[in-house]
A and B are shown apart, each in its own frame.
Chain A
Amino acid sequence: MHRTKILDHVILLIGVFIMVAPVVVAFMTSTHEAADIHSNGLSLTWGGHFAETYETVLTRAGGFTGKITGFNMMLNSMILGLGFAAGKIVLSMLAAYAIVYFRFPLATVAFWIIFTTLLLPLEVRILPSYEVMNALKLTNTYTGLIVPLLASATGTFYFRQFFKSVPDELLEAARIDGAGPFKFFIDVLVPLSRTMMAAIFIIMFVYGWNQYLWPTLMTTDEGFFTLVRGIKQILLVWVGSNIPDYNEAFALAILAMLPPVMIVVIFQRWFIKGLTESDK
């Protein structure tokens, strides 16, 4: 019995090592100088150049046009993550409310129109989506970055499941008290959904922050680059130079993963709740 327990821990520790080590190494390496990394390889020790490297990466204007800094990219990522998460929650709560709480002739049709979107990810229609954006003149705008990503029913599906689990008695009681649809929504349903909203907000923020393909297509103006979208540019510059700026590439990678990773670690309970309870 005891021996299996020890073996379990060993397997878990190997798992933890494999998951954690690459990121720790990436961070440690980012604190070394480029030439140092070039001759000595990746590092597990503290290099002492943390402040300089991260300051350079955050404030130096780079890119081909020289107008984007790491800080700007971080801001853009933040706008994308927050805008997407907020938009997703508002749109999908309203839609789910209509579907679950209203009797109207086209309910079934609306349901299927919305839920068909779960069948096809954005990736399979990237080219026509891009053309639609062009036709609407939305390329290189925050609207174009955020709104098309909202065209899927994931959030609506989550809230629909949640609303269905809310006891019918609440609505009956509210109606006896004379509450109309708006009052019931704002005074009863929204407060009840707080945990659910938080969980979905976290998942959607991480999803939005981590978007890559869509921002890559949508933004050619470097002023709109997000950190994750900037990765490719970092690599292209990095490949060209004699002694590649490994330290800066790693520093940007760390910055690009920091907010979503912190959110997942800090709000772990809600994050897991949102993932596991809503998907089924």
Chain B
Amino acid sequence: MTGSSGDRRDKAGAKRVQFSSPFLPYLFLAPQLAIIFIFFYWPSAQAIQSSFYLEDPFGFGSTFVGMSNYADVLRSNEYLGIARFTAIFTVLVTFFALSIGLLLAVKADGVIRGNSGYKTLLIWVYAIAPPVAGLIGMMFFDQHIGPIVKLAAWFGLDIKVGLDYFDTAFAMIVVSVWKQIPYNFIFFLSGLQGIPVSVREAAALDCRSGTRRFWTVVLPLLAPTAFFLLIINVTYALFDTFGVIDVMVKDKAANNPITLVYKVYMDGFRGNDLGGSSAQSVILMVVVFVLTIFQFRFIERRVHYN
């Protein structure tokens, strides 16, 4: 990092030497700013605005209703049920994706030989789009041809994805975790390989037990990576799993588990409930906003460590 004096200009990324020109910087910024204003600020403002209005279903104007869209949303049992599922889903996906990613990274880091082979074999699933992963998941959980269904039948379990709420949730979580493991693996592995050899040697001398060394030396050193990944994984579980869910519920959202983002989509595009959908959008905005502020503060603090 260039000079960490921490003043405002430094945060904006200033150099010691700079060009000064009355209009050039604005010219360079113009395309990015134009797109951001039209496709970010305008719709965001509109989401906030229409969350206070009740849209006439036939398109004849709208009435200001204050906070009543929010009240309706937050009082609805259906919404609260979906919020609860989203929370459970997010916790489970994040936990399993992080811990399996970490386990594999620690093992790959320990095995010097074959490391790059394992790396290649483990990371490419990252590039598969969530709905494609969802489609493959559907097939593996298919009533007729799915090997997982057959395997479960061996143990006397009857898995009915798409029909049974719990089974569908289970399949969604499995597919979402599967898709996210490579991402966590890459970051944990680079984090591990960034630990200096001298630190490793000192740790090996101090602490003979590999497991204890992991918990007391390695894990604390990985904490910044883990924290960063925690935020990324929560965001992934909240938003990027949309494709997995959309493919798996097959347009029968009513008796299937869905997340809050899916509900925004359903109410806005299927139910034509503009106000309600917008209010939900704003609620989600606040959630993500808080999460990201948290992350920014943390990253900022870490930059000072360097």
Contact = CB atoms under 8 A, between A and B. Distances in A.
Interface of A: 4-5, 8-9, 11-12, 15-16, 18-20, 22-23, 25-26, 29, 37-38, 41-42, 90-92, 94-104, 106-108, 110-111, 113-114, 117-121, 123-132, 136, 147-148, 150-153, 156, 160, 163-165, 168, 171-172, 175, 180-181, 184, 206, 209-213, 216-217, 228, 231-232, 234-236, 239, 246, 249-250, 253, 256-257, 260-261, 263-265, 268, 271-272, 275-276, 279-280
B149 to A, nearest CB: 9
Contact of B228 (A236, A264, A279): A279
19 contacts: A25-B147, A41-B147, A91-B32, A92-B32, A94-B29, A98-B24, A108-B11, A124-B239, A125-B40, A125-B47, A126-B268, A132-B42, A151-B35, A181-B19, A210-B132, A212-B242, A213-B243, A228-B132, A253-B135
Contacts of A234: 135
B301 interface: no
B181 interface: yes
B123 A272 contact: yes
Nearest to B273: A127
Contact of B107 (A11, A37, A96, A106): A11
Contacts of A132: 38-39, 42-43, 46
* Centre residue among A20, A164, A209, A280 by max chain B CB count within 10 A: A280
Contact of A268 (B123, B134, B181): B123
Given A127-B274, A272-B190, A276-B186, A253 B132 contact: yes
A81 to B, nearest CB: 11
A111 B12 contact: yes
B50 interface: yes
Contacts of A9: 111, 114
B247 A235 contact: yes
Interface in B168-218: 178, 181-183, 186-187, 190, 210
A149 to B, nearest CB: 8
Nearest to B24: A181
A239 B147 CA distance: 19
Contacts of B187: 275-276
A154 to B, nearest CB: 12
B40 A127 contact: no
Contact of B131 (A150, A231, A279): A231
A91 B33 CA distance: 9
A41 B150 CA distance: 10
B26 interface: yes
Contact of B47 (A91, A127, A163, A228): A127
Contacts of B28: 94-95, 97-98, 102
Contacts of B75: none
A92 B2 CA distance: 20
B277 interface: yes
B125 A160 contact: no
B32 to A, nearest CB: 4
Given A25-B140, A91-B32, A165-B1, 19 more contacts: A5-B111, A15-B100, A16-B122, A41-B147, A42-B146, A91-B35, A94-B31, A96-B13, A102-B20, A104-B20, A106-B26, A127-B281, A147-B39, A165-B2, A175-B17, A236-B251, A257-B128, A264-B126, A276-B187
A127 B268 contact: yes
B103 interface: yes
B129 A98 contact: no
Contacts of B12: 99, 107-108, 111
B86 interface: no
Nearest to B278: A127
Contacts of A127: 47, 264, 268-269, 274, 277-278, 281
A136 to B, nearest CB: 8
Contact of B136 (A111, A164, A253, A276): A253
Given A104-B20, A265-B124, A131 B129 contact: no
Given A124-B281, A151-B35, A261 B128 contact: yes
Contacts of A94: 28-29, 31-32
Contacts of A209: 129
B96 to A, nearest CB: 12
A153 to B, nearest CB: 8
A94 B242 CA distance: 32
B288 A212 contact: no
Given A101-B18, A101-B19, A280 B261 contact: no
B157 interface: no
B118 interface: yes
A257 B20 contact: no
Nearest to A104: B25
Contact of B29 (A95, A136, A184, A280): A95
